Amino acid sequence: MRFWLCFCFFFSALFADDIVVDLRNPTYKNGILYTNQGGVIRNQDIRIQARTIQYIRKGQVHKIEAEGDLLIQYNGRVFVGSELEYDFNEKSGVVYDGKTFSSIWYVGGDKIELKPDGDYKVTNGFITTCENIDSTWDLHASRILATKEDLVEAKKVTVRAFQVPTLWLPNFKINLRKFKDPIFRYSLKWDSGMGPRATARYQLYSWKDFAIYAKAEYRWAVGWGGAFETEYRPSDFHTTFITRSYLAKDRLESAPNAARRYRVQGAFDSTSQDEKTAAVLTWDKYSDVRMPTDFKSEDFEVNPAKKTLFYISHRDDSYVASFKFRPRVNPFESIKQDLPTALLAVRPLALGSSGIYSSNYLKASYLDFTYSNQLAEHLASYNSARIEFREKLYRPCHFGAFTFTPELGGLAIFYGNSPSSEAKWVAALIYGANAEARGIRQFSHYKHQIEPYFQYIGLSTPTVLPDQHYIFSIQDGYDRLNQLNIGVRNLLFSKKRAGKEPSFAADLYVNAFFADFAIPQVIPYGHLDLAWRLPSLHFTWANAWNFRHQTVQNSNARLLWTVNEDIALSLEGRYRSRYDWRKADHDSYILDVSRSESELLRSPLSDRRVTLLTNVFIRITPFWECHLQSHHGFFRLNETPFNEIKVDLFTWVSSVLKLRLSYKYTDYTRPNFPHHFSANLEFVKK
């Protein structure tokens, strides 16, 4: 027998195009090699494993028939089935009662025809994510055509739940590999006072780089709503294009009758192959100011900033250029419109061998600050052409461990319009210096690094005071400033941990101001910023002390802790006193020196508050997870405390099907309907 098996191997390799035949106890008769005890036949295109195999090689016939414990690997794909017929001459075959998979999907049917190019055709087939033999749901089709790239087209499709037809489609296309969103998602929510709300989201079409989704929603109180979504994600270049459109009827508390409400949003993002040029286009048009929060959905938010914007930028070795166009599309918004803004910034250049570096940029805009139509009767909008040029010269001087860098520059801004209806030229001299020293000492397990430093920031009195020209943003807020920051940083690095992040960091510094009438005290603020970074724990604590009023200016603490593989949490506490102004840039003190303290205390910029944030994840069992989030605010001067709590429970119905049960309590956005319940069933692509 051993001799006969070796002869068969030799015969196969000699005449069968490098086909390897490995059969257990085979028999040979009339050109047919047969076994019912198992074996493997393979070449560079296919591998067949089965219990019963007939390998036929006579005349022009060259094929195989196999059944029982059947497994086929063909063109990078795995098939199983009850029986196989494969022709080596045609490089094609048929798998009866066959199945295969792609990503989270299983595809099968009565007959799978294997094509030479890796495509396959399924007769009387199905598509599902269920691992069980009897699927709880599937897409049944009379014919399924699939490519080796997992582009699937199904004809005469029926959506079935527990083998019961629920929806019929004449044609269906889907890219099983490309798009991460599930083919459908169901959700059921319950708001106290508003009744139940059911949503269903379907992937109607996905082919190559493009997908279409439809979303239907029913609210017990007001009726139907719907959404239409598209996605374009090409593979050959860095581009995405997503749109979301929603239309429904709903009741507003200010308008008890059902009103038509809508939201149309989209985002286009593209980057060149060399990653030097990037373009962004976003839009977000909605019916009323509360629309984005009332219909908030995690899978529907394309543009969280709610901006309508076109922005393109190009970065080169010697310069950076950009173009920005941002109009207002929602009349209830108060925004600064860029119509448009262009920027050219030159990277720092060395001036010969002097060691002096020069950097500058030029920005040209036409700006239109438009108030909400609800405020238009009380506040007048304003606009102006604006051209800004800034130049800075600096020279680093190194003296061992000590570095001193003086700076000198200036700015010039032209406003084509002003409150007096005249053009204005604003010019100011910018000067300053930075100094830093560094000392390092090595220990057995740690490295200690100490860095004393000071920074002086000087700005001369501008030729036009802030009240005499328009203020569009913080970039227009220039006033006389003489500020000195003095401090010392302590850094502790662990030798056991690779990387540049210190295990412990402490930054102690004070702000000093000279000849500024709005801050009569030379040193009004002191700061202490602490940070501990351990393998499973990260703690930061930023503090500021107000010397003038002998009180805590602000204090923000945050703890990130991975307890173990089943528990992780973040805790955050924020305190802001009435003397800590709400600023876009907290380290900019132009506002402090431009306005008196009494004036700022009377404005909304003074907003004392305490905020507590929690975010906890707990894996209760291998199949149950809990996510707890909370947001609490209190100690505000003119507002009552508020609380927001959200609890999500997740469980795996199958390896790719996840159920989420949610409860949310909010007592400040909708005080009459604070309780929200929801249930979501969705596919998760792993």
In a domain, 317, yes or no: no
Residue 601 one-letter amino acid: L
Last residue of a domain, one of 424, 445, 476: 476
Instruction: Determine the structural domain holding residue 104 and report its residue range.
Output: 2-132
Last residue of a domain, one of 452, 476, 500: 476
In a domain, 259, yes or no: no
Cβ-proximal residues to 210 (8 Å cutoff; 6+ apart), any chain: 230, 231, 232
In a domain, 225, yes or no: no
Residue 586 one-letter amino acid: H
In a domain, 423, yes or no: yes
Q: Residue 589: how many CA atoms within 13 Å on its side-chain side?
A: 23
Residue 631 one-letter amino acid: H
- The closest of 452, 350, 460, 360 to 395, measured between CA atoms, is 350
Q: Which range, of 28-42, 444-458, 516-530, averages the lowest pLDDT? A: 516-530
In a domain, 471, yes or no: yes
Q: What is the CATH number of the domain that holds 41?
A: 2.60.450.10
Q: Which range, of 16-25, 122-131, 239-248, 662-671, averages the lowest pLDDT? A: 662-671
Burial class from Cβ neighbours inside 10 Å (0-12, 13-18, 19+) for residue 550 reads exposed
Contact 200, 215 (CB under 8 A): yes
Confidence band of 130 (pLDDT split at 50, 70, 90): confident
Count: domains in the chain: 2
Contact 311, 323 (CB under 8 A): yes
Cα–Cα dist 257/223, whole Å? 12
In a domain, 75, yes or no: yes
In a domain, 339, yes or no: no
Confidence band of 5 (pLDDT split at 50, 70, 90): very low
pTM equals 0.75
pLDDT tens digits, 273-305: 888 999 999 999 988 887 777 666 655 667 666
Confidence band of 13 (pLDDT split at 50, 70, 90): very low
**pLDDT at 652 (0 to 100):** 83
Instruction: Tell me which residue has tokens 């099968």.
Output: 108
**pLDDT at 6 (0 to 100):** 43
Q: How far is CA 239 from CA 111, 204, 274, in A?
A: 39, 22, 13
Last residue of a domain, one of 420, 445, 476: 476
In a domain, 586, yes or no: no
Cα–Cα dist 329/325, whole Å? 12
